[in-house]
């Protein structure tokens, strides 16, 4: 059973719309951890986060994370996940699921005919989904937007 704190609130999900585009500078040089070269600071093009993070706008939504079940994957409370419904939820992917009356973010594993939903926080036990249970994957997480 998923603890209440682990559920994603319905108002935390937002459908993606690309009606407003904010173009930001995108530099051609890589960022170094050492001393940067001033000669490498050339503007290559502008970057649109819609182009960078969203491949299927009609099948993409944002969701804000609550709970701490995925902190081992650096998914923290308050983060915004970009979720693509058109992607196939393959083994080991981080997904948004509907289970036990609510949405949650988990890593999905397939074991024979059973599905195992794993948290990356050792305080949470795996959830075993058996055939016939009320369960669905509502999308694959493609990006995590965090504020430092």
What are the residue ranges spanned by the domains of the chain? 4-16+55-145, 23-53
> Does residue 69 carry a catalytic annotation?
yes
pLDDT band at 24 (very low <50, low <70, confident <90, very high): low
Q: Give the residue with greater pLDDT, 87 vs 22.
A: 87
Q: What is the pLDDT of residues 99-118, one digit of tens each?
A: 888 899 999 999 988 999 99
Contact 43, 25 (CB under 8 A): yes
The CA-atom distances, in angstroms, between 141 and each of 46, 67, 73, 81, 145 are: 25, 16, 12, 6, 11
Q: Which of 56, 106, 113, 136 is the catalytic position? A: 106
> How far apart, in whole angstroms, are the C-alpha atoms of residue 129 and residue 118?
11
Whether 15 is catalytic? no
pLDDT band at 140 (very low <50, low <70, confident <90, very high): very high
78 pLDDT above the threshold of 50: yes
CATH assignment of 4-16+55-145, given 2.140.10.10, 3.20.20.105, 2.10.109.10, 2.40.50.250? 2.10.109.10
pLDDT of 20 reads 59
């Amino acid at each position: 059973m998923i603890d209440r704190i682990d559920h994603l609130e319905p108002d935390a999900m937002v459908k993606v719309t690309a009606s407003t585009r904010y173009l930001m500078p995108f530099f051609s040089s890589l960022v170094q951890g050492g001393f940067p070269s001033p000669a490498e600071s050339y503007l290559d093009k502008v970057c649109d986060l819609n182009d960078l993070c969203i491949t299927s706008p009609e099948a993409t939504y944002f969701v804000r994370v609550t709970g701490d079940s995925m902190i081992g994957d650096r998914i923290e409370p308050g983060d915004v996940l970009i979720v693509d419904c058109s992607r196939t939820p393959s083994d080991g992917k981080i997904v948004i699921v509907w289970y036990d009356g609510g949405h949650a973010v988990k890593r999905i594993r397939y074991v024979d005919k059973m599905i195992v939903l794993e948290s990356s926080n050792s305080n949470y036990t795996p959830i075993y989904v058996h055939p016939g249970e009320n369960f669905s994957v509502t999308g694959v997480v493609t990006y995590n937007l965090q504020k430092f």
